[in-house]
Amino acid sequence: MVGNKPNYTKFDVLRCFFRIGEGISRHNLAKSLELGEGTIRTILGILKNKKLIESTKKGHFLSSRGNSEMSKLKENMALPAGIESSSIFGSLKKSAVMVKNTAELPPAYKLRDIAVKNGAEGAIILKYDKRLYAPEADSEFDYAEIEKYFELGKGDVIVLSFADSYSTAEDSALAASSEINAVLKSFINRLSN
């Protein structure tokens, strides 16, 4: 018997986990993540089964285990909600994930391919050394507009993806970022099991 294909990704589960803080409702999660409330209910069930969240009538909260996992993730990365920039990728929705202190970086085209395979129209990989720059770009571009979203340090990498929706842009940025950070990749894999 063939089951239904879920209408969410493992990256949607991670995005939901990041949005849960102090008492957020299912309705607000659905709106923020651009997913249906039924899908959010399923994702919340996954996070509860993993003992990462607790729920009350006031909303959903990180459990002590969830807080511990969130601390580990935040030591390695940052995921701000939506990036606003009209000078980069025009009117498409943008999302960026910062991966902290990345020692080895695969070729940018491989990370872009991962982002595109996960729904992005495209992506750019940026590295920080006193300023953001694209290591494999032919021309200089000022990415200072992106820097304001992060507290950057030498060796940090930003995966900036763009798509028709914020949810797709975030999913694709997280997919590419998980290829350059073992802690993030491990956490995503545990969410899937």
Give the CATH fold of the 10-74 domain.
Arc Repressor Mutant, subunit A (1.10.10)
Q: Which residue has the tokens 């959010």?
A: 40
Nearest to 172, CA basis, from 95, 113, 118: 118
What residue spans in the chain does CATH classification 3.30.1360.30 cover? Answer: 76-181
- To the question of pTM greater than 0.85 for the whole model, the response is yes
Residues 6 or more apart whose CB falls under 8 angstroms from that of 70 comprise 17, 18, 62
**Residue 104's pLDDT is what?**
81
Q: Print burial letters for 33-69: b (CB count within 10 Å at least 16), e (below 16).
A: bebeeebbebbbebbeebebbbbeeebbbbbeebeeb
Q: Which residue stretches of the chain have pLDDT < 50?
A: 1
pLDDT in the model for residue 2? 53
CATH of 76-181, picked from 3.40.710.10, 3.30.2350.10, 3.30.1280.10, 3.30.1360.30, is: 3.30.1360.30
Q: Given this model, what pLDDT does residue 1 score?
A: 43
Rounded Cα–Cα distance for residues 41 and 20 (Å): 13
**Which residue intervals of the chain bear CATH 1.10.10.10?**
10-74
- For tokens 């992506």, what's the residue? 123
User: Nearest-CA neighbor of 174 among 13, 7, 1, 5?
Assistant: 13
Q: In this predicted structure, what is the pLDDT of residue 141? A: 81
